[in-house]
Structure 1
Amino acid sequence: MIRILLAEDDQAMRTYLARALENAGFSVVPVSSGIEALPYMQTEIFDLLLSDIVMPEMDGIELAQRCNEISPSTKVMFITGFAAVTLRASREAPHAKMLSKPFHLKDLVLEVERIFEDAIPVRM
Structure 2
Amino acid sequence: MIRILLAEDDQVMREYLTRALQKSGYAVTAVDRGTAALPLIQTESFDLLLTDIVMPEMDGIELAQRAGEVSPNLRVMFITGFAAVTLKAGKAMPNARVLSKPFHLRDLVAEVDRLFETDLAGLN
TM range (shorter): over 0.9
Which one has the bigger helix percentage? Answer: 2
In structure 1, how many angstroms separate the alpha carbons of the residues matched to 2:10 and 2:27?
A: 20
Report the CA distance between 1:73 and its aligned residue: 0.4
Structure 1 residue runs of 4 or more that deviate by more than 6 Å after TM superposition: none
Report the CA distance between 1:50 and its aligned residue: 0.1
Letter in 1 for 2:13: M
In structure 1, how many angstroms separate the alpha carbons of the residues matched to 2:120 and 2:33?
A: 28
Size of the aligned set, in residue pairs, is 122
Q: Percent identity?
A: 66
Superposition RMSD in Å: 1.1
Q: What are the ranges of 5 or more consecutive residues in structure 1 without an aligned counterpart?
A: none
SS of aligned partner of 1:51: strand
Report the equivalent of 2:97. Answer: 97
In structure 1, how many angstroms separate the alpha carbons of the residues matched to 2:84 and 2:98?
A: 13
In structure 2, how many angstroms separate the alpha carbons of the residues matched to 1:24 and 1:118?
A: 17
Q: What are the ranges of 5 or more consecutive residues in structure 2 without an aligned counterpart?
A: none
Report the CA distance between 1:120 and its aligned residue: 2.0
In structure 2, how many angstroms separate the alpha carbons of the residues matched to 1:113 and 1:119?
A: 10
